[in-house]
Amino acid sequence: LAKTTQPISMDSYEGQEVNITCSHNNIATNDYITWYQQFPSQGPRFIIQGYKTKVTNEVASLFIPADRKSSTLSLPRVSLSDTAVYYCLVGNAGNMLTFGGGTRLMVKP
Amino acid sequence: NAGVTQTPKFRILKIGQSMTLQCAQDMNHNYMYWYRQDPGMGLKLIYYSVGAGITDKGEVPNGYNVSRSTTEDFPLRLELAAPSQTSVYFCASSYLQGASYEQYFGPGTRLTVT
């Protein structure tokens, strides 16, 4: 399984754009990059998944450079309700999900 | 759809007691999983199942047992509870197996062993 490295914590303010970068230097050719969000006392929730370039959905964008050794989750105009832990996972159909420590995002008013 | 449901929400056990954590899903997913999450940490896989009648160990299976008699249900059994099993337990399901497929998580069961 590709090991991922992401910042332990980040602070932001309401209305700002937040970018969380994840490093995965040994990503395999058939690996996908997936981000989950977890609020306190809740199970993780799927946010977005991508393989290369850029993916956008109603809540976030995922930027993946050509070498795929890193990825950046972008949350536009965050609000207090975006305060959560964000997990970056890398794997494919043959792997189990392996959660690291995640990035604890604190959005301040 | 109710999604993934778990019962109970909270439980306190004494050392040496046993209990079963219930998990059910109504999405007709073949794959189901049990994770534990210790405070401030990520999730660790305990057991998983690829379909009724088939289960397999994850990263931290010791002290736990599972069964999968139906597609919908995947109970987790704790025998001889120990303080080290104090944790939050999450059940999840997915249509296909693997890290590239979305998993749906239940609300969790907070277990304390004293």
Sequence-distant (6+) residues with CB within 8 A of B19 are B11, B13, B77, B78, B81, B111
B57-103 residue pLDDT tens: 999 999 999 999 999 999 999 999 999 999 999 999 998 877 778 99
What's the average model confidence in pLDDT over A25-54? 93
Q: CA quadruple B5, B104, B32, A99: dihedral positive or negative?
A: negative
Contact B98 A96 (CB under 8 A): yes
CB-based contact, A29 to chain B, within 8 Å: no
Residue B54 has pLDDT above 70, yes or no: yes
Query: What residues of B are in contact with residue A98 (Cβ under 8 Å)?
Result: 45, 59, 99
Asked if residue B89 lies in contact with residue B35, where contact means CB atoms within 8 angstroms, the answer is yes
In this prediction, residue A21 has a pLDDT band, given cuts at 50, 70 and 90, of very high
CB-based contact, B97 to chain A, within 8 Å: yes
What's the average model confidence in pLDDT over A58-72? 96
CA distance B3 to A36: 17
DSSP string, A44-91: -EEEEEESSEEEE-SS-EEEE-TT-SEEEEEESS--GGG-EEEEEEEE
Q: For A43, which of B97, B107, B110 is closest by C-beta distance? A: B107
Kindly report the nearest CA distance between residue B59 and chain A, in angstroms. Answer: 9
CB-based contact, A55 to chain B, within 8 Å: no
Asked if residue B56 lies in contact with residue B31, where contact means CB atoms within 8 angstroms, the answer is no
What's the average model confidence in pLDDT over A14-37? 95
How distant is the alpha carbon of residue A89 from its chain centre?
A: 8
Residue of chain A nearest B10, judged by CA positions = A41
Share of chain B above pLDDT 70, in %: 100
Asked if residue A71 lies in contact with residue A81, where contact means CB atoms within 8 angstroms, the answer is no
pLDDT given for residue A1 in this prediction? 59
Query: What would you report as the CA-atom Rg of chain A, rounded to the nearest whole angstrom?
Result: 13
B77-88 residue pLDDT tens: 999 999 999 999
Residue B14 has pLDDT above 80, yes or no: yes
Asked if residue B107 lies in contact with residue A103, where contact means CB atoms within 8 angstroms, the answer is no
Contact B42 A102 (CB under 8 A): yes
CA distance B65 to A96: 19
What's the average model confidence in pLDDT over A27-47? 93
pLDDT given for residue A88 in this prediction? 95
Contact A92 B48 (CB under 8 A): no
Contact A95 B58 (CB under 8 A): no
